[in-house]
Structure formats: structure tokens, C-alpha cells
Chain A
Amino acid sequence: MELSALVPFLAAAIVAGTPILFAAVGEVMAERSGILNLGVEGMMLVGAVMGFMITIVTGNHWTGIIAAMAGGGLMALIHAFITVTLKGNQVVSGLALTIFGTGVSGFLGKSYQGMPTADPFTPCVVPLLSDIPVLGPILFKQDVLVYISIILALGFWFLLYRTSWGLTIRSAGENPAAADAVGISVSRVRYLCTIIGGIMAGLGGAYLSLAYVPSWQENLTAGRGWIAVALVIFALWNPLRAIAGAYLFGGVEALAFRLQTAGIQISSFFLSMLPYLLTILVLVLVTVRLRQEAGAPLALGVPYDREER
């Protein structure tokens, strides 16, 4: 591929990767605190539909963003209540929330299907930086949510690895009993991180309905929430690697169409299969690797019960 074709391709990869990035970084936070959240897909859908509806009603996309965050956050609150307070099975709760989110978003958005967005996010050109050859059009002619997603990923990485709060969060996920012993409220940390995860998933959904597409269709996310969950493993629970991973996954999606327009003879069925093949490959590789060095938080998926120490 020539350079002239590479620039729009990479720009498209970033756009396609952004909804996954939001959701994956949120999921990293939840899993780092020890809570596996398989409800990401449902939370993204609820975020997407809430953001879209409120934007239509108010005519302002920022109110939509707040609604999307609230929607995803509320779903995550349910997950936290079930898994932290009631110590329920995290897998079951997450799956149930995905199914619930799919249904409730379809129900809420029924009369909004196919409507044009009132106030979509449009690309904002960063002065000076966008004039840099190659990098400028790829990185600095995107909509503001793309920048926010990168800033949030960097911010959460800093929080996790460079602050004492990060240590607290990670200890809740690695060894909650020890964390408890030094006076950390494991429940509070897990609640907080799960809700952050839901808020981020809501943002990822809203990116689809307010910036990328931008309109509401039933099941708008079409499996991107699951890709985000897989991406967390791909990124070895690190928000920085999640950035790279999200753009890689987005790139595969964008590549599938660009190879077709370039007239390269690869079956489009094969190309549309690639992101999922990549997910499986990464799962295999990471699982093999994890036997030697721990990557996953040790207490991931295990409810913490002080009585059972």
C-alpha cells in the first residue's frame, strides 16, 4: 500500500479502535480490582442508546455523553452490588447484564432507530499539529472523543502504576486479604473500579452512536464489547498496551474494506473473520505465557469474603 493510502487507513483504524479502547480501559480497571465484568457489551449498548436519546432531547452532545456515562455506570453498579455485596458469581452476573442491556437498549431506543443525530461529534482539527506530514492527518484531525480516550487511557495507566491509589486497586485484585489487613476497604475499591469500568463502557457505546456512525440501531455495538473484554487479556491488563491493541483491532476492521477497494483478491469472508481469529490467537498465546509469569490479577473473579480468610 502506498503512503497516500496508508494515511486514511491509519486514521480509520484509530476511529474503529476508539469505542473498543474506551471499553477495554474501563475493563482493565475493573479486572485490576478483581472484578471480571462480562457485561461490557450490554453496558456499551445502554450507553449508546442513552447518549443518543438525550442528545436528541437536549440537542447537545455533551449532555448525551453524561447520560451515556450514567447509563453504563448504573449497569455496573448492579454488577458491583451482585458480585461485591452479595458475592454472586461474576460470570453469571456479567452475562445476564449483557443480555439485559441488549434488551433494554432495544426497548428504549425503539422509536429512535435510524434517526439522524441532533448534534454529532465532528472532527476537530488541532491547529499546527495537524500540519505535520503523515502524523498530522492521522492523529490530529479526529473528533474530540478520540483525544479523550487516549488521555483517559494514559491517565488510568498513571493512576494504576504511579500512584498509591493504583497500588491499592491492584492489591485488591491480587491479594484482597492482605489489602484488607492493611486497612484497605476491598469492597469500596471494587465498587469504584467496577463503576468506572461501566462508565467507560458507556462512553465507548456513545462514541458509536454520537461520533462514529452516528445514529442508533438495535444492537449497534455488534460484538465490540466482547472484543474489548478479549483486548484486556491481549493488553495483559495494562491500559497502555490497550491503546496499541485497540488500534490493531480497529486496523484489521478497516483493512478488510481497504483490501477490497484495492482489488486484492482475498475473500471478504476471510477478512471479516480476522479480528476474531486474532482474539483467539492472543488468548492462546497469553494463556500459554501466563503459565510462566503472572499477568492476570490473582484474585480476578474471586469474591472476597473476610470470614473465609
Chain B
Amino acid sequence: MMRFGKLGIMVLVLALMTALVVGCGTADQGDKDAAKDKAEEFKVGFIYIGAPGDAGWTYAHDQGRIYLEEKIPEVKTMTLEYVPEGGDAERSIEQLAQEGCKVIIANSFGYGDPILEVAKRYPDITFLHCSGLKTDTNVSTYFGRIYQARYLSGIVAGSMTKNNKIGYAAAYPIPEVVRGINAFTLGVRSVNPDATVKVVWALTWVDAAKEKAAAESLIDAKCDVLAQHADTPAVQQAAEEAGILSIGYNSDMSKFAPNANLTSPVWNWGPYYVRAIQAVMDGTWKSEEYWGGVEDGIVDLAPISDKVPANVKQLVADKKADIIDGKWDVFTGPVKDQSGAVKVPEAQKMTDAEMLSFEWFVEGVEGTIPK
């Protein structure tokens, strides 16, 4: 028995070694093939905070990635999902750099410093950082004026409410979210000056149960249209169950609430990615702080439900055309705050800096910004 055991082990070791040799041989061959492809393909790496399956933020970015691959056939993309924000992200970004990516795209605010670190070590690689603040010679930031799409969705909500009470389940009291609530409310009141928007802070981006509870508290407060600034479709599902109406966010959420959902402000990153990558390939790319709006198609409204009358759809289309033509933007005066005081005088526009640091609600919002 003992002898057989030893023999068995020897056979096993031999088999393993053979497998290793054969395996390595194949790997070498694979590397050569890959090297041959590298000459033709242009690698773009994506760092994701979540996964495309979230139906929200990362999903929208991944749609952009797919669009990019379709539009520029030479581009080959690779993705890293669930990359934690902060210092540890440096490893993941570095990994993509070493894999030969010529452009690296990161889709969350917290990747800022790691990107700048890696960018210093790889001056030949271009970095695009979504919602970031800091740029460098080879680092751009990019974001979209989703508030424009929120204003348009507000027109829909304001036209469809019967109680004149609209609920808004919001994630965190930060300028980005406050700006969205304000734009939405201005949209609502542009068609329905009697309507108010009731805000509830869920204090989470991704706790579906809490978001649902927040939505239900708004339903109990007699709101008949719900909007959301949160990443899960829980608010839509609550509206569907209660038989009321809703406005989604991030991507077209009508599939979660076919009866309730009227439309959703959506992100459409594809065209931006195509433009930026094409510029890098042509050698015309320059570092910038990009904040595009509906004119670039980076933000938009998902198809509006058939429940919405044609004249409302027309109104939305007209307003959208005005924004695209540059005739008008959402925060054009007069804009009043909750106390009725005029914050933006007639015919004046808020500057980007003012919009990026919003910390007051416009007239018509019911709720407070916790300090």
C-alpha cells in the first residue's frame, strides 16, 4: 500500500508538471497573439464604483462603454467593477495602466487623488474622471447638467399631479442633489404654480428598503407623483404598488413601474466617450473640465409615457430646444428661495460656481436641508 501511495504521488507530480509546461506553453502563445492584436487595437479601461447590473449609475456608464465599442471598432474596453474609493483604488488604476490601456475612465468622485497619483507616473495615458474636481495635463474631469433633464421631468410631473403634491425621495443633502431638487421644482411650478415638492432625505444611495420606506411616507402624505435622487428603483416600485405616478432617475426606469413611471432623467455617456477617445486617437485631446448639458446629449429624458398629453410633451420639447439653442437655462432669474426672497434677479443666470455650491431650496420646495 505504501509503495502504491508513493507511486501515486509521483504520477500525480509528473502529471502536474506536464500540465504546467503545457499550460505555460499555451500562455506564451496567447501572449504573442495578444501582442499582435495590440498593434491594431486601442485599449480603454473603465473603473466602476458598482456593477452594470445596478440599473442605475454604473449601468448608464456601461451603456456608454458599449456605445463606444460600437462607434469606434478599434477600441477594446476592459472594466474593473466594485473598485472601492480612496487610496486602494490606485492599485486598480495602475493595473489598467499596465495592461496597456491608453485611456482610463473612472466613474466616481472618490477616485480623484489616486487618479492624479497614477497619472503622474503614466504621462502618456489619458485619464477621464467623472464628477471629479481636479485636473492635470493628462487628466480631465467630466459631468453632465442632469438638472436640465430634471427641470424637463418637472414639467411632466407638474402637469400630471392632481393633488398638487409631489414627493421627492433624495439621497444626501449635498449641492448636486439640492440642485436637482431645485431644478425639478422650477420645472413643476413653470406649469403648475400651486404645486409643491415635498422632500424626504433617505440618507443612503443604495438601501432599497429605506428608499421604499421614504417613498411610502410621501405616499401617506398624499403625494401623487414621486421623483427620486437615489440609485435603486425602489421608489418606482412603491409608486407602482400604490397606483400613483413616478419619475425615475439614471436610466429608463419604466420597466420597474410600467404603469407608474412617466419618464426618467437619464445619463447618456456614450457620445462624450466617443468624442473624447476620438480626440485622444487623433492627438487633438486637451485637458478640460467638461460639464455638458442636453445640447451634447450627455443628459436627456427617457421616452415619455403615453399617459402624458401631447401638449405637455410638446412643451417639454420646446423647453429642451430653448436649452439646446442656448436661449435659456434652468436657473435664469427671477428665482426665489423658500422665504420668497429673490436670489437670482430677473434675466440673470446663475454661474456654474454658484450652481455647484447650492445650499438653499427654491420656492415651492417643502423640506429643509439638514446642516
Contacts and interface: CB of A to CB of B under 8 A. Distances in A.
Interface of A: 5, 8-9, 12, 16, 19, 106, 110-116, 122, 208, 212-215, 217-220, 222, 224, 253-254, 257-258, 260-263, 265, 267-269, 272
A112 B367 CA distance: 35
A14 to B, nearest CB: 12
A258 B82 CA distance: 33
Interface in B195-215: 198-204, 206-210, 212-214
A215 B199 CA distance: 24
A35 B241 CA distance: 40
Contacts of A113: 51, 53-55
Interface in B324-371: 366-368, 370-371
Interface stretch (B6-14, B66-74, B216-224): B216-224
13 contacts: A12-B217, A12-B220, A114-B55, A122-B241, A218-B54, A219-B206, A222-B210, A253-B210, A253-B213, A254-B213, A260-B367, A268-B201, A269-B370
Contacts of A220: 208-209
Contact of B203 (A12, A258, A262, A269): A269
- Give me the 10 closest cross-chain CB pairs, A-B, nearest first: A114-B55, A257-B217, A113-B53, A261-B221, A268-B201, A8-B220, A267-B370, A222-B207, A213-B208, A217-B208
B97 to A, nearest CB: 26
Interface stretch (B31-39, B156-164, B231-239, B292-300): B231-239
A262 B221 CA distance: 8
B214 A257 contact: yes
B109 interface: no
B256 interface: yes
A102 to B, nearest CB: 12
B27 to A, nearest CB: 26
B56 interface: yes
Given A214-B237, A265-B368, A12 B256 contact: no
Contacts of B202: 257
Contacts of B201: 260, 268
A112 to B, nearest CB: 7
Interface string B29-55: 000000000000000000000110111
A199 B222 CA distance: 38
Contacts of B3: none
Contacts of A260: 199-201, 217, 367
Contacts of A19: 209
A12 B367 CA distance: 21
Contacts, number: 106
A261 B198 contact: yes
B237 A217 contact: no
Nearest to A12: B216
Contact of B56 (A9, A111, A114, A222): A114
Given A222-B210, A261-B220, A114 B370 contact: no
Contact of A213 (B54, B203, B209, B214): B209
A215 B208 contact: yes
A222 B54 contact: no
A224 B51 CA distance: 23
B121 interface: no
Contact of B53 (A16, A110, A258): A110
Contacts of B206: 217-219
Contacts of A217: 54, 206, 208, 232
Nearest to B52: A113
Contact of A116 (B54, B214, B237, B367): B237
Nearest to A9: B220
Nearest to B219: A8
B256 A222 contact: no
A263 B167 CA distance: 13
Nearest to A114: B55
A219 B232 CA distance: 12
Given A114-B54, A268-B370, 11 more contacts: A112-B53, A114-B55, A116-B233, A212-B212, A214-B237, A257-B200, A257-B202, A257-B216, A257-B217, A258-B220, A260-B200
A269 B371 CA distance: 9
Nearest to A222: B207
Nearest to A266: B370
Nearest to A212: B209
A124 to B, nearest CB: 14
